Structure 1
Amino acid sequence: MSQNIYDSIPFFESYSKYPRMEKGLAGASEWPLLETMLPPSLVSKTVLDLGCGDGWFSRWALDQGAKAVCAMDVSKNMLSRARALSPPDQYSGITFRQVDMDIEVLSEKLDPEEEAAYDVAFSGLALHYLVNLEAALRQVFRSLSPGGLFVFSVEHPIFTAPQRPGFNKKTGAGAAQGQQDWPLSSYFAEGEREVNWLGAPVRKQHRTISSYLKALRTVGFEVVVVDEWGVSEDDSRKHPDWPNDGGIPRFLLISAMKRVDAADSL
């Protein structure tokens, strides 16, 4: 079962002050790169938004001309916020559903005619919380129509790897003012990591890049694009809350396609 930390009131109130909650797309630093991995047009497409949070991607998809969006999240608080920000007179095409992707069968949450009927599936920074990633990927695979695209982001494995994560101040010749190092350890020791974030213990699952790619291929996806996002000298890639980290990768971004000749693998 996924940890539902966002239904903790103190945690949710703290997280609500984060840029990506206050600003939506504008507060998601990796969004410009992630957007390039999506289809050039969403007009008349059906979209699945997994780990929808407050619904920012679902609203964006509908604004881009999507026919319908099914938005799922484990958190009641997030879904309540998403509904409040998505007035029915403007976003009637969005259906919000509470789903724990770690224990529930995704296809059972869909109407029979919806199975294998989504053109695009999207997940923003949610899959690294799942214990059983491969099972969830099988569900996504089955929900997509042939030729459908799955685009997602996760915390970069370099960032999730350390057993005791934390920046160290960089010293020595050539160190930029205020620059900090991210000590990498335990990269190949996959499994649960617990970090203290916003005053609460948060559980994540560390996987290597190769494990993400292998899981996608195992269930039948064809990997299309693999990219990485990290702070650079480009102002558009900076984040006001993050230290000068010397350019470590923060997010792993992947797009994968359900081949037209692929058979359902659930």
Structure 2
Amino acid sequence: MSQNIYDSIPFFESYSKYPRMEKGLAGASEWPLLETMLPSSLVSKTVLDLGCGDGWFSRWALDQGAKAVCAMDVSRNMLSRARSLSPPDRYSAITFHQVDIEVLDGPGGLDPEEETYDVAFSGLALHYLVNIEAALRQVFRSLRPGGLFVFSVEHPIFTAPQRPGFSKKTGAASQDWPLSSYFAEGEREVDWLGAPVRKQHRTISRYLKTLRTVGFEVVVVDEWGVSDEDSRKHPDWPNDGGIPRFLLISAMKRVQ
């Protein structure tokens, strides 16, 4: 089962102060790049949102004309927040489900025999999964032929070190990120917001190979990091020495 750190009250209260929670879509720094990887139109599409958090993507998809959105998350706290932000008079076509997305073929999960969705999306959730191949296989089966899966994860350069942390040389304007253990895939435990959080480090090639193994055709691979322009527009964003923070991938279920 995936770690459910967001149902820890102290952790959730701390996380609720993050821009992603306070600003929704506007607080997701990588969103403008992710948006370009999605279909140009979601009108009448059925959408799957894996690790939906407070539901920001689900609401956006419905606002873009999607017919229905199935939103899944393991956290009761996140789903409660998502429902409170999604008034039924406007977002009745979103259904929220408490599901461990690592076990999508379990109770309340996906029907592995049914090609239900046109688009699947996951924002910064898959790097928590131990058995990502099983989850991707279920996503693949749930998509209609021609369906698109778009997701983001923490960049493998960011998840690789066993003891992650920035370092700064005396007099330097930016910080460095010492890279180590890149090819040593597996669990990493980091202290975040005062709690031990478990993540799974995978190389970029592992993500791509696993997608192809389950049947996907990789369409776009991109990376997001704070650029000089971003630093000028958002002086509150940390100057991190130009390392990539997020890996963004889109993959298609080909029409046979």
Superposition deviation, residue 243 in structure 1: 2.6
Separation in structure 2 between the aligned mates of residue 21 and residue 240 of structure 1, nearest angstrom: 19
CA 1:3–1:105 in 2, change beyond 3 Å: closer, same or farther? closer
CA 1:88–1:254 in 2, change beyond 3 Å: closer, same or farther? same
Superposition deviation, residue 184 in structure 1: 0.4
Superposition deviation, residue 170 in structure 1: 2.7
Superposition deviation, residue 235 in structure 1: 2.6
Superposition deviation, residue 236 in structure 1: 7.2
8 Å CA contact 2:168, 2:175 repeated in 1: yes
8 Å CA contact 2:72, 2:101 repeated in 1: no
Superposition deviation, residue 244 in structure 1: 1.2
Superposition deviation, residue 87 in structure 1: 0.7
Separation in structure 1 between the aligned mates of residue 166 and residue 233 of structure 2, nearest angstrom: 17
Give the ranges of 4+ consecutive aligned residues of structure 1 lying more than 2 Å apart after TM superposition. Answer: 102-106, 110-115, 235-243
CA 1:111–1:139 in 2, change beyond 3 Å: closer, same or farther? closer
CA 1:156–1:234 in 2, change beyond 3 Å: closer, same or farther? same
Separation in structure 1 between the aligned mates of residue 243 and residue 28 of structure 2, nearest angstrom: 17
Q: Percent sequence identity over matched residues? A: 94
CA 1:78–1:238 in 2, change beyond 3 Å: closer, same or farther? farther
Gaps of 5+ in 1: 261-266
Further displaced range: 232-241 or 14-23: 232-241
SS in 1 for 2:49: strand
Superposition deviation, residue 43 in structure 1: 0.3
CA 1:193–1:113 in 2, change beyond 3 Å: closer, same or farther? closer
CA 1:103–1:243 in 2, change beyond 3 Å: closer, same or farther? closer
8 Å CA contact 2:102, 2:134 repeated in 1: no
Residues 205-246 of structure 1, C-alpha deviations (whole Å, 9 max, x = no match)? 000000000000000000000000000111379665543112
Separation in structure 2 between the aligned mates of residue 40 and residue 103 of structure 1, nearest angstrom: 26
Superposition deviation, residue 14 in structure 1: 0.2
Separation in structure 1 between the aligned mates of residue 19 and residue 34 of structure 2, nearest angstrom: 17
Superposition deviation, residue 111 in structure 1: 6.2
Residues 129-176 of structure 1, C-alpha deviations (whole Å, 9 max, x = no match)? 0000000000000010000000000000000000000010134xx933
Separation in structure 1 between the aligned mates of residue 205 and residue 233 of structure 2, nearest angstrom: 27
8 Å CA contact 1:230, 1:237 repeated in 2: no
Separation in structure 2 between the aligned mates of residue 237 and residue 147 of structure 1, nearest angstrom: 39
8 Å CA contact 1:2, 1:130 repeated in 2: yes
Separation in structure 1 between the aligned mates of residue 228 and residue 198 of structure 2, nearest angstrom: 31
Separation in structure 2 between the aligned mates of residue 30 and residue 243 of structure 1, nearest angstrom: 14
Separation in structure 2 between the aligned mates of residue 212 and residue 257 of structure 1, nearest angstrom: 14
What TM-score comes out, normalization by structure 1 length? Answer: 0.90
CA 1:112–1:247 in 2, change beyond 3 Å: closer, same or farther? closer
1:103 to 101, 104, 109: 101
**RMSD, matched Cα:** 1.8
CA 1:127–1:103 in 2, change beyond 3 Å: closer, same or farther? closer
Aligned residue pairs, count: 250
8 Å CA contact 1:29, 1:237 repeated in 2: no
Q: What is the match of residue 246 of structure 2?
A: 251
8 Å CA contact 1:29, 1:239 repeated in 2: no
SS in 2 for 1:169: coil
Superposition deviation, residue 104 in structure 1: 6.1
Gaps of 5+ in 2: 105-109
